[in-house]
Amino acid sequence: SQQGEEDPQALSIQEGENATMNCSYKTSINNLQWYRQNSGRGLVHLILIRSNEREKHSGRLRVTLDTSKKSSSLLITASRAADTASYFCATALGGTSYGKLTFGQGTILTVHP
């Protein structure tokens, strides 16, 4: 069953601004991942944060994880028009369920030039 909830559902900003997307989940996890999807295309893996990590950076991306609140956030700094896409969080269990992802509902990000 789908356990991730994301907000906002849609976000519209100007180029150069920061974009923050939030994700909440319900069960214990091994890791949480963020993906990007351009319209009608497959998924691009952005970043993975493990359950024992609190913050991770990759280029203009910053991800936080609060396991006590079962929530994560993705911050894209200095956004560009090319960042326009849908962004999904996905939670993963460990062990034999590794690789089996449960996706959030996604945030549609539009960056206006």
> What residues make contact with other proteins under the rule CB under 8 A?
1-2, 4, 35, 40-45, 48, 88, 98-106
Q: Which is nearer to other proteins, 75 or 108 (CB)?
A: 108
Shortest Å, Cβ 16 to other proteins: 27
Shortest Å, Cβ 89 to other proteins: 10
Shortest Å, Cβ 41 to other proteins: 6
Are residues 75 and 62 in contact, defined by beta-carbon separation less than 8 angstroms?
yes
Shortest Å, Cβ 22 to other proteins: 15
Are residues 62 and 49 in contact, defined by beta-carbon separation less than 8 angstroms?
no
What six digits make up the tokens of 111?
């960056």
Are residues 91 and 34 in contact, defined by beta-carbon separation less than 8 angstroms?
no
Q: Which is nearer to other proteins, 56 or 103 (CB)?
A: 103
User: How distant, in Å, are the alpha carbons of 13, 41, 62, 100, 112 from that of 4?
Assistant: 24, 21, 19, 14, 27
Q: Which is nearer to other proteins, 22 or 103 (CB)?
A: 103
